Chains A and B, each alone.
Chain A
Amino acid sequence: GESVGLHLPTLSVQEGDNSIINCAYSNSASDYFIWYKQESGKGPQFIIDIRSNMDKRQGQRVTVLLNKTVKHLSLQIAATQPGDSAVYFCAESSTGGFKTIFGAGTRLFVKA
């Protein structure tokens, strides 16, 4: 079946630097790509989504880029803070959002 995967299982960045978390997907038919953040001991929390007909979408301190040619998705976090330390999941869904397929996750460590 379709899968959503991540290039790196862990990422360590210095506080204040920008973080880039990457994700590869395999289902070209997905309509939306989504990023979630999961802090230790908690459920995932929605960050941002992007529709498949878009290349870029910005939120508060975050930017998601979508490259459909190479089936690649990235989440950029500006001025990374200690509170950004978490596991980040990319996910994809088809029209209607009935099913959501999650990737394995990337753990982000922020060094003070």
Chain B
Amino acid sequence: EAQVTQNPRYLITVTGKKLTVTCSQNMNHEYMSWYRQDPGLGLRQIYYSMNVEVTDKGDVPEGYKVSRKEKRNFPLILESPSPNQTSLYFCASSLAWGSNEQYFGPGTRLTVT
């Protein structure tokens, strides 16, 4: 089944404890992206990747890192999480950077205390 998977789906952590949220897609998509969703703000783009080893900042990149060493994986790294990073995170992928049809993962709900 063609899909985007994220792990973990739920995470509660403490301020300053490094964490990684994994994202994987099995559709051989070139483009991948991370968003956070907060009430009343919609989805805001954190980082995106046009292909392996090519990443760039979205609108809210502060406090996040990403890497794209393989085409299928695009992990989101929070080196020192803070409470304002408590949010619902979505990973998405699309066939190529010119495609508007993004496929979203199921989301990861992160709580930082």
Which A residues contact B (CB, under 8 angstroms)? 1, 4, 32, 34, 41-46, 49, 89, 91, 93, 95-105
Give chain A residues whose Cβ lies under 8 Å from the Cβ of B41. 104
25 contacts between A and B (CB under 8 A): A1-B59, A4-B42, A41-B107, A42-B104, A42-B106, A43-B92, A44-B43, A44-B92, A46-B100, A46-B103, A96-B97, A97-B97, A97-B99, A97-B100, A98-B48, A98-B50, A98-B56, A98-B97, A99-B45, A100-B33, A100-B45, A100-B100, A100-B102, A102-B35, A102-B43
Does B44 have its Cβ within 8 Å of any Cβ on chain A?
yes
CA distance A100 to B90 in the complex (A): 13
CA distance A101 to B41 in the complex (A): 11
A43 contacts B97, CB within 8 Å?
no
B90 contacts A44, CB within 8 Å?
yes
In the complex, chain B residues 7-61 whose Cβ is within 8 Å of any chain A Cβ = 31, 33, 35, 40-45, 48, 50, 56, 58-59
Does B94 have its Cβ within 8 Å of any Cβ on chain A?
yes
Partner of B104, one of A45, A49, A97, A98: A45
Give chain B residues whose Cβ lies under 8 Å from the Cβ of A42. 104, 106-107
Which B residues contact A (CB, under 8 angstroms)? 4, 31, 33, 35, 40-45, 48, 50, 56, 58-59, 90, 92, 94, 97-107
Give chain A residues whose Cβ lies under 8 Å from the Cβ of B42. 4, 89, 102-105
A46 contacts B59, CB within 8 Å?
no
B101 contacts A46, CB within 8 Å?
yes
CA distance A34 to B99 in the complex (A): 11
Q: Check A32/B45 contact, CB under 8 A, given A43-B92, A97-B31, A97-B94.
A: no
Residue of B nearest to A9 (CB): B40
CA distance A102 to B40 in the complex (A): 11
Closest approach, in angstroms, between the C-beta of B90 and any C-beta of chain A?
5
Give chain A residues whose Cβ lies under 8 Å from the Cβ of B50. 98
B104 contacts A43, CB within 8 Å?
yes
CA distance A6 to B28 in the complex (A): 34
